A and B are shown apart, each in its own frame.
Chain A
Amino acid sequence: MTDLQDRPAAVLGSRLLRREDPALLTGEAKYTNDLNVPGALHLVVVRSPYAHARITSVDVSAALDVPGVVAAYSGADLATVWAAPMPCAWPVTADMKNPAHYPLAVGKAAYVGDGVACVLATSDTAARDAAELIDVQYEPLEAVVDLEDALSDRVVIHDDLGTNKSYQWDLKIEGEPGQVDAAFAAAAYTVSERYVQQRLIPVAMEPRAVCAVPQPFGGDITMYSSTQVPHILKVMSALTLGIPEHQLRVVCPSVGGGFGSKLNVYAEELLCLALARKHGVPVRWNETRSENHVATIQGRGQIQHIELAADADGKLTAVRVRLLADMGAYLQLVTPGIPLLGAFLYAGVYDLPLAYDFSCTSVFTTLTPTDAYRGAGRPEATYAIERAMDALADTMGIDPMELRQRNFIRKEQFPYTAMTGLVYDSGDHEAAASKAAELADYAGVRARQAAQNVPGAKKVVGIGQASYFEMCGLAPSRVLASLNYSAGGWEAATVRVLPTNKIQVVTGTAPHGQGHETSWSMIVAEKLGVSPDDVDVLHSDTAIAPLGLDTYGSRSLPVGGVAIAMACDKVIDKAKKIAAHQLEADEADLEFAAGTFSVKGTPDRSLPLAAIAFEAFTAHNLPDGMEPNLEAHTTYDPPNFSWPFGTHICTVEVDTETGHVEVLQYVAVDDCGVQVNPLIVEGQVHGGVIQGLAQALFEEAVYDSDGNLKSGTLAEYLVPAASDVPSLTLGHTVTPSPTNQLGVKGIGEAGTIGAAPAVINAIVDALSHLGVRDMPMPASPHTVWNAINAAQHTTNGASK
């Protein structure tokens, strides 16, 4: 009886409210720019107004006359400060071209926003006024904006490289030589499609901010930064600046979102560190929203050619992909690797024979560098295959849902070794797809469509589907080595039971909106039989959590969360030894449940963890040779990626007169294995879907032919607001991952991956009776109207 009463209700799987939210919602949370740092100098960076220009002179003298200004520097003035160029941690091929990239450009500016000079002043406003007085003379050169133009080397951006091509990366997998070509030759149906992944601006709610604070003596320095990757940043900054790594500490205060854009090592972080060391005082920088649009990395930026071959039943027999990827002006931290994260996913969720031919060519342009943005390579890949599947269904004259059903990897095929050699841990696409179809009333919408989409109809209906696999929690480390990725895929955790049975967890993950404090406390509560309220989660400070590989790529739960569960197991093992000693029982006879060890069959002989924790602390009566205290550390390198999956179905109504698209319903059925906290899972899906929908309908970084960003403010770069997006209908299936003890998979990017193709498939479906076969993103009303006109022009022309 007592046993049952003491047992806390199951924590794992409950909709616990996020402990992070009260501070965030009441404005109490402190972000980097909120830190009060007496004596800090303010850094402002002068940025190139030209996409491509020789810097002929930099005169900072007028800036120095502004009251409050302490110093001003050109790129050349600081050239000797750097021990190494800015880091690129993913040299995907041995012969990859990587231009030297310094925090301030010397000699040449290569994009609008490229830093060319900087000023330090006692106030932010003085520094901004002074920045306007720095006289930089440029000799403008031709911009390179178009990817195909870049590839032609008509204008070479980095003189010393002699070409704009950074690398070519191939992945050709054939059961027998020539199988891909043979499959295309023998195919009953083929499609050949070209899609453009427009550039996107990540627009984290909090722009970037940095503050570097040197200690008065001894050379230690602390950098506060709005980053997703404090640990990687620490290592890379130490290398770039020649700071002994043990003297550098990186701390992230509250971080207001990143979406991959803060998975980087940025010029301003290095400038703050370098200048704080040089001047011996704190130096801080905060990014304006306008700066964020040009000086923080952008996402996507690809031209995709995808070809599918299929037999008479529509079963895929080969996939061929040619990718042209926009690196931007320089390679940032993982820029070159982003397209390759999609390289394995162009066959989507389908059972493809060994006939896969992928090649990616990457080029420099005179635009803001690209890098990871929510999904990073995987939304692009999923978009291409899911759009191409619809094109194939259209060619065959069958329902796209039917075509997918014929090609899905079946449930019984898992774990499934894909043609790429990767092993998909678990999945059940038929279940997810049929659940989504049911929630979306697929048959009902088809019936309505048949009645409504008649010639001349002003409002037409369409329904679109996307089924996806997401590849997340990159691991194990040795697989990352085979991809030339410079870091590992492990994560570290420490679980420490304090004398009063309160728990401290130290994690190497670096949450910036994901709710790790809540989720990690739930995992520990479940494992150790305590209340989540008794668990404190420490993170995002390299002095407190010295080991870690941070938060990106939906890795935190399947790697970091599992590491915590494993550390809990070690704690339980040690506690069990103490319990056995105290209860004078054999370890093998003890069981642990609801925070209490008891002798099997004799429940009154028991000892709660609380008592053991205190014993471990006093160390008065521990087994011989046992070290005091109850804590354990784990570094977990997972055996495999985790493979969340799902099906999204979108229903739209299109106004054929204006081109306006209204999303009538959006259904997302996602499977991320076991859900630690469904409330947080739903939050991730909501945000993810809206970001994918934003790519489909609203957002685009638009450049003119001179390389100027036309969507430079939030008035032109259309991030949708709550009133512009539909309510989502969420469902889920649960297919546990067999590779980790919690059965969990990642969920941070899934929504984004599914959404864009589902929305565009729906729009094309709505307009297919008018002859529309494709729709560029974003499908703005003007774009939709143009597509309808072009299709009707073609149809009319053809009938004449």
Chain B
Amino acid sequence: MIPAAFDYVRATSADEAISLIGEHGEDAKFLAGGHSLLPLMKLRLAQPSVLVDIGRVSDLSYIRDAGDHIAIGALTRHMDVERSPLLAEHVPLLAHAAGHVGDPQVRHRGTLGGTIAHADPASDLPATTLALGATYVAQGPNGTREIAAADFYQGFLESALAADEMLTEIRVPKMGGAGWSFQKFNRRAQDWAIVGVAAWRRNGDSGVALVNMGSTPILASSVSGALAQGASIADAAQLAAAEAEPQSDLNASPEYRVHLAKVLVRRALEQASA
């Protein structure tokens, strides 16, 4: 299909983008990689009146060592996340998961900030950064603020970002050698996960988050809680869906999703513990 008519402006810096969004009001939208927004516009499910293109705000495309965490600019493409030696060393789970987003075209266009701001529960990297305990940095007309991943996802495609706020940076704690696993269960390699699991484990600590198991990415705190209290992997995995509210679609019923989550969490924890 062809999108409804819209206006287009291009920003060259975060400041400019934020003032342009403020200027154009309610119906204006940021355009990053366009790989979530444009499909919706083509189906006319989204009809923004103005697109503020931030795709060329190149100073927001970076991956830096910031001591206890890695700082990633919001406009960093999935492909750069996947191939980053810095991430491979300190946050291998994120680099690996980024390699499972869509297909190469999608990974060359889509941005880390875009996928997080879009807050799609079926996307891989919101859940992965949630499992890793990331912090997101948002900039608005009145300055910047930090939002914990655990507080960010508020509903289906809804985040804590205000309409005039732009996500500028993703801060991911270094994994410090933790074991990890990313399980993506789908029917075709290019597809969104039917259920996905991002997990890491280091001594008594762990982080487990679920993809496509509710209206937001889901932090499986019950699993981590059980592990911390010494539960076996098999027993902890039985709690995989405790926080989830899975939907039904052409690929899976809620019951099947719950079953898959348990199997995949068990496999993920086994792999992370190996």
Contact = CB atoms under 8 A, between A and B. Distances in A.
Partners in one complex: yes
Contacts of A720: 188
Interface string A118-155: 00000011001100000000000000000000000000
Contacts of A124: 2
B229 interface: no
Contacts of B189: 721, 723-724
Interface string B177-200: 000000001011111001000000
Contact of A718 (B1, B188, B263, B264): B188
B188 A657 contact: no
B251 interface: yes
A282 to B, nearest CB: 21
Best-buried of A657, A716, A723 by chain B (most CB within 10 Å): A657
Interface string A388-401: 00000000000000
A658 B263 CA distance: 8
A290 B43 CA distance: 9
Nearest to B260: A658
A710 interface: yes
B8 interface: no
Interface string B194-229: 100000000000000000000000000000000000
A782 B246 CA distance: 15
A128 B4 CA distance: 9
Given A290-B1, A721-B190, A660 B185 contact: yes
A780 interface: yes
Contacts of B264: 658
Q: Interface range on chain B: under 10, 10 to 19, 20 to 34, or 35 or more?
A: 20 to 34
B256 interface: yes
Contacts of A723: 188-190
Which of A698, A702, A721 has the most C-beta atoms of chain B within 10 angstroms of its own C-beta?
Answer: A721
B224 to A, nearest CB: 22
B188 A698 contact: yes
A785 interface: yes
Contacts of B103: 721
Interface string A637-664: 0000000000000000000011010000
Interface in A765-790: 780-782, 785-786
A721 B189 CA distance: 8
A288 B251 contact: no
Contacts of B24: none
A702 B248 CA distance: 14
B185 A658 contact: yes
Contacts of B263: 657-658
A780 B2 contact: no
B252 interface: yes
B2 A128 contact: yes
Contacts of B64: none
Nearest to B192: A715
B253 interface: yes
Nearest to B187: A718
A721 B188 contact: yes
Contacts of A449: none
Contacts of B253: 782
Interface in A297-332: none
A713 B259 CA distance: 27
Contacts of B251: 780, 782
Given A125-B2, A657-B263, A711-B250, A782 B188 contact: no
Nearest to A716: B250
A711 B191 CA distance: 14
Contacts of A128: 1-2
B190 A782 contact: no
A131 to B, nearest CB: 11
Interface residues of A, number: 26
Contacts of A721: 103, 188-190
B250 A710 contact: yes
Nearest to A128: B2
Nearest to B259: A785
A713 B189 CA distance: 17
A786 B259 CA distance: 11
A330 B194 CA distance: 36
Interface string B1-32: 11011000000000000000000000000000
Contacts of B252: 782
B262 to A, nearest CB: 9
A782 B254 CA distance: 11
A724 B250 contact: no
Interface string A719-743: 0110110000000000000000000
B250 A702 contact: yes
A711 B189 CA distance: 18
Nearest to B44: A132
A394 to B, nearest CB: 27
Contacts of B43: 290, 713
Nearest to B264: A658
B79 to A, nearest CB: 17
Nearest to B4: A129
A344 to B, nearest CB: 35
Given A702-B250, A711-B250, A716-B250, A782 B1 contact: no
Contact of A724 (B5, B185, B188, B256): B188
A539 B273 CA distance: 64
Nearest to A698: B187
Interface in B149-197: 185, 187-191, 194
Contacts of B191: 715, 718
A228 B250 CA distance: 33
A288 B190 contact: no
B250 A781 contact: no
Interface string A481-496: 0000000000000000
A134 to B, nearest CB: 16
A654 to B, nearest CB: 14
Contacts of B185: 658, 660, 781
B256 A785 contact: yes
A775 B264 CA distance: 24
Contacts of B259: 785
A85 to B, nearest CB: 30
Q: Which of A660, A723, A782 has the most CB of B within 10 A?
A: A782
Contacts of B250: 702, 710-711, 716
A721 to B, nearest CB: 6
Contacts of A657: 263
A288 B1 contact: yes
Interface in B78-115: 103
A698 B250 CA distance: 12
A761 B253 CA distance: 25
Contacts of A129: 4-5
Interface string B35-73: 000000001000000000000000000000000000000
Contacts of A718: 187-188, 191
9 contacts: A125-B2, A129-B4, A288-B2, A290-B1, A658-B264, A698-B188, A718-B191, A723-B190, A782-B252
Q: Which 10 A-B pairs have the closest CB atoms?
A: A723-B189, A724-B188, A657-B263, A782-B256, A782-B252, A716-B250, A288-B1, A128-B2, A718-B187, A718-B188
Given A288-B1, A290-B1, A780-B187, 9 more contacts: A128-B1, A288-B2, A702-B250, A711-B250, A718-B188, A723-B190, A782-B251, A782-B256, A785-B256
Interface of B: 1-2, 4-5, 43, 103, 185, 187-191, 194, 250-253, 256, 259-260, 263-264
